Amino acid sequence: MARVLVTGMSGAGKSTVLEELRRRGVLTVDTDYDGWVLSDGNWDEPRMAGLLAAHHQVVVSGTVANQRHFYDRFEHIVLLTAPLEVLLDRVRRRSNNPYGKSLRQQEQIRQYVEEVEPLLRTGATLELDGRLPVAHLADMLERIVSPAPPAPLPSSVP
């Protein structure tokens, strides 16, 4: 069992892969929704601490300034990446999140790819290509969050 953080730029596919994991029965929290991010742009620290203390098998997604405060409580930090043009195309077309529609927001995404993504990379334990099929990404994350038990050792007794 593991606590996994999926982080990355807007449009990388975090919400999409979490939705697939949720469909498969994995406990997920997409911090873009339901008040996890406070008005200052940071996670609600007491709430996040409570979530991670209460659940030993959960996949959380988000990219916020204070996420590093929680890295020691996750077994895996997964950076989901995609080329800038893919990110911009996705945020322009998506319907589940308004961020990225304006030119100003798209310029922010360009800046974050240059300045923030390298910082995320330094804290990541695994980097995945967000252009891979969603089912494949979900398979990989599912194996991380709930690895198969080790195979029993063969008995030497006849």
Confidence of residue 34 (pLDDT cuts 50, 70, 90): very high
| Structural domain contains residue 152 | no
CATH number reported for the structural domain that contains residue 14 in this entry: 3.40.50.300
Strand, helix or coil for residue 96:
coil
Strand, helix or coil for residue 10:
coil
| Structural domain contains residue 153 | no
- Rounded to two decimals, the pTM is 0.90
| Structural domain contains residue 154 | no
Residue 132 has pLDDT above 80, yes or no: yes
Q: What's the start-to-end Cα distance of the chain, in Å?
A: 34
Q: What is the mean pLDDT of the chain?
A: 93
Range of the domain at 117: 3-145
- Number of domains observed in the structure of the chain: 1
